[in-house]
Every structure is written in C-alpha cells, then in structure tokens.
Amino acid sequence: MLEVENVSTMYGRIQVLWDVSLAVREGETVALVGANGAGKTTLLETVSGMLKPASGRIAFRGKRIDGLPSHAIVELGISHIPEGRRLFPEMSVRENLEMGAYLARVWKDKQEILDRVFQLFPILHARQGQLARTLSGGEQQMVAMGRGLMSRPSLLVIDEPSSGLAPLVVDEMFRIIETLRGEGIAILLIEQNVQQTLEIATRAYVLENGRITLEGASRDLLHEDLIKKAYLGL
C-alpha cells in the first residue's frame, strides 16, 4: 500500500533522515519506534507531503507521491493526524470535524461519515457545539482523530495520539486504533507507549538518528534486547 524507499529528508542544510525504507500493507498497523529527535515526525511529514524528500521514492498503491502537494495526497486516501492535534480553537467541535470532509469525493457524504465519527467518539456528539479550545486534552485528541477520519482514508498516519493524556484515555485511543484496523484502515503509528504499541501493531520499525536500525514482527521485537533496554526499561 505504502512504499518508502531510500528516503532522505533535510531541514534546510541539516539532514534528518538517511535512506529510510519501510512499507505498510493493506489493513495492517505498522509502528514506528524511536527516541525523541530520531526523525519519526519528519518521516510522517515527508510521507504526507509536508516536507519534500531530498532523495528516494514514496509510492501509495503504486502511484508515486513524493512530488505531490499535501492536499493531493489526502485526495488519494492518506490522512495525517499530527502531534499536538492542531485544531481550530475558536471553531466548534462539529466545525473542526467538517473541515476534514472538504474533499469533493466525501463532501456529499459528510453527515454519514460524521455519524460514524460520533459512534466512535460519543462524547463528541454531546460536545459538537462546544469550542475546541474548551475541551480536555483527551477530547481534543478525539476531535483530531475524528477530523482525520472525515476524509474516508485508507491509510491513517498518526503521530503520538496519547501524548499528555490520562491512562484511561490512552487505553481508549488504543481501542479506537484497533477498531479502525478491524474496519480495514491501514495505520502508520508513532507512539511513546512502546509496549502497548507493539502489542497492537502488526509490524514495527525502529528509527535511530534518522536511520532504520531494526524491523520485524511487533511481538518479536518485544523480545529484542535493544527494545527492552532502550524503550521498555528492562
């Protein structure tokens, strides 16, 4: 579904990624694990067109996308849920969600999609008229997730969905991610909770200093010494 081949990305003159390759297949959850500053967010922003790679190739369902603008990548079926939520604070919950349905192919079905989002996040139905800035952190993350789903993506790119959230809300986020995978949506996930992430992911890649250093089935990586020592404190 998604193929990243030998991608290098720069911030100005500073190189952040070196020859990174990974793949996401139809319907699977792939975790991207690494310390802060390893280049994880940079990789997601490169996939979604927010950054242009200096070299390498990115393809989605066989179509090369590394030269496309972000809105064209969304149109193809990739939705990026960024770290920090990035909501419109002075707009209501419903207005924030509807902003995710601007594509011509989904606009006519926006109410149907919105109803599904409200099924996944019932609290948002109750809060739909409330300004986004007045929500709790967990509720804001639900809005960000819901907005990403409004474009009916086939691939969700999610950056740190549990950051700063209470444990019960974190568990709810993981439950939603598993539900979405069950509905056939593929997911590329960055998440600081490595243990829980590897337990729900199909496969995982470890990114260190801008390079992939380890990859494999997620449950196998849970037993790798590098993962135990660096990320699980074992």
107 Cα distance to chain centroid:
22
Sequence-ordered alpha helix ranges (H) in the chain: 40-47, 70-76, 93-98, 104-107, 110-120, 122-126, 137-149, 167-182, 194-200, 218-221, 225-230
In this predicted structure, what is the pLDDT of residue 85?
81
Residue-wise pLDDT tens digits, 76-126: 999 999 887 889 999 999 999 999 998 988 999 999 999 999 999 999 999
In this predicted structure, what is the pLDDT of residue 233?
63
Residue-wise pLDDT tens digits, 188-200: 999 888 888 999 9
More confident position, 227 or 81: 81
Residue 62's pLDDT band, with cuts at 50, 70 and 90, is very high
With a cut of 60, say whether residue 234 has pLDDT above it. no
In this prediction, what percent of the chain has a pLDDT beyond 90?
73
DSSP conformation class of 99: G
Q: With contact defined as beta carbons under 8 Å apart, do 68 and 62 qualify? A: no
pLDDT, the chain, mean: 92
Residue-wise pLDDT tens digits, 160-183: 888 777 788 888 889 999 999 888
CATH class of 1-77+154-162+187-234: alpha beta
With a cut of 80, say whether residue 14 has pLDDT above it. yes
In this predicted structure, what is the pLDDT of residue 37?
87
Residue-wise pLDDT tens digits, 29-59: 999 998 888 999 999 999 999 999 999 999 9
In this predicted structure, what is the pLDDT of residue 167?
81
**H/E element holding 204?**
strand 203-208
In this prediction, what percent of the chain has a pLDDT beyond 70?
99
Distance CA 142, CA 162 (A): 10
For the residues 193-212, what does the mean pLDDT come to? Answer: 92
Distance CA 141, CA 156 (A): 14
More confident position, 231 or 189: 189
